[in-house]
Amino acid sequence: MRRVLPFILISLLLPAGGCGTLFGNRGADQLVPAEAKKITFEIVAQDNRCEPSVLAADRGGRALAITLQVTSVGKEHTFLIPALSIRQAVAAQTTVSIPVAADRSGIYEYACTNLPWIGPLTPTGKLAIK
């Protein structure tokens, strides 16, 4: 009975739709102010590398709404920006749009790999936001 009790309590507290009805989806459009500067970068993932390897954007004191258009060539890749909690699988020969909300400056490491993490030998790129 002790093992079943927590599950019963959780099922009573959560509505039938699960956590999704308590915590709705939050995309980049909901987090970025309307006056945010919009930028799109095109990235090609090939042979566990991202091209270009350096991306730069100037916020000009405003928030940025960045759209990353990632195209995977040859095989499936995983696109990662760990510091921004972004991990997106991109199937072979497809393009995926990844929205990124940036309201602070910094240099963020990114990678296109076949692993769900950036390993010590993984070639990485840099997203510089000024």
pLDDT digits (tens, 9 = 90+) for 84-94: 889 999 999 99
- Residue 32: the pLDDT is 65
pLDDT digits (tens, 9 = 90+) for 7-54: 454 454 444 444 434 433 333 444 667 778 899 999 999 999 999 999
CATH topology of domain 27-129: Immunoglobulin-like (2.60.40)
Q: What is the rounded CA–CA span in Å between residue 75 and residue 80?
A: 16
Is the pTM higher than 0.85? The answer reads no
Sorted by where each begins, the domain ranges of the chain are 27-129
